[in-house]
Amino acid sequence: MADLTRKNGRQEQGGRHRWYEQYLPFIARSPRMQIEWLIGVFKKRSLAREEITPYIRLLMEEEQEDEVIRGLFLGLEEWVLTAMLEAADIYDTPRLFRLIPQPTLAQAMIALLKVPPPYEKAPGLPRHKIFQAVHDSSEELLAAAVRDLRHRGEGGAEFEEAYERFEEVLMDEKILTSLYPKARL
């Protein structure tokens, strides 16, 4: 309990947070501190999802931090990871989804329902990346999420077209790997 003791409104030197951490910009923080900041924002509900999106982008910016972030995600509650997925844009969603240790059906459905922005010239590409991320996590999870989305009537015609195209690509990959087992896709 000594690390949570406060003196004069500031936490002690041995505490979890030091006074200057409150004033560090988000980009100067470590991934652990960035995730803690995001959790605080989610709990306080001080920012809208759209306002959190750039912070998710900054967290996902450093590729060399994937293992660190994956390790930090291990200790997080499911609601935090779900909130991050909801706040992430379609471009950050595949990478974020891959970093989640045990993605749930609800998280897969959130990821699959991401819609490309109207200015996207190739709207199928970001969707394909999300399908691939969910598929890489678990083929069964992807199938269950698509089945539930269809049952609920969510996703629409564009989603169905993108998923059918993704299934065709998977079939093509299977055929190619059976014909050329030593070739890399």
pLDDT of 26 strictly over 50 = yes
Summarize pLDDT for 142-161 with one digit per residue, the tens: 999 999 999 999 888 889 99
pTM of the model: 0.81
Summarize pLDDT for 49-95 with one digit per residue, the tens: 999 999 999 888 877 678 888 888 998 999 999 999 999 999 999 99
Q: What's the chain's average pLDDT?
A: 85
Q: Provide DSSP, the chain.
A: -GGG-EETTEE-TTSSS-GGGGGS-GGGS-HHHHHHHHHHHHHHT-S-HHHHHHHHHHHHH-GGGHHHHHHHHHTS-HHHHHHHHHHS-TTTHHHHHHH-SS--HHHHHHHHT----TT-S-THHHHHHHHHHHHHH-HHHHHHHHHHHHHHT-SHHHHHHHHHHHHHHHHHHHHHHHH-TT---
Between 170 and 18, residue with greater pLDDT:
170
Of all residues in the chain, what percent carry a pLDDT higher than 70? 84
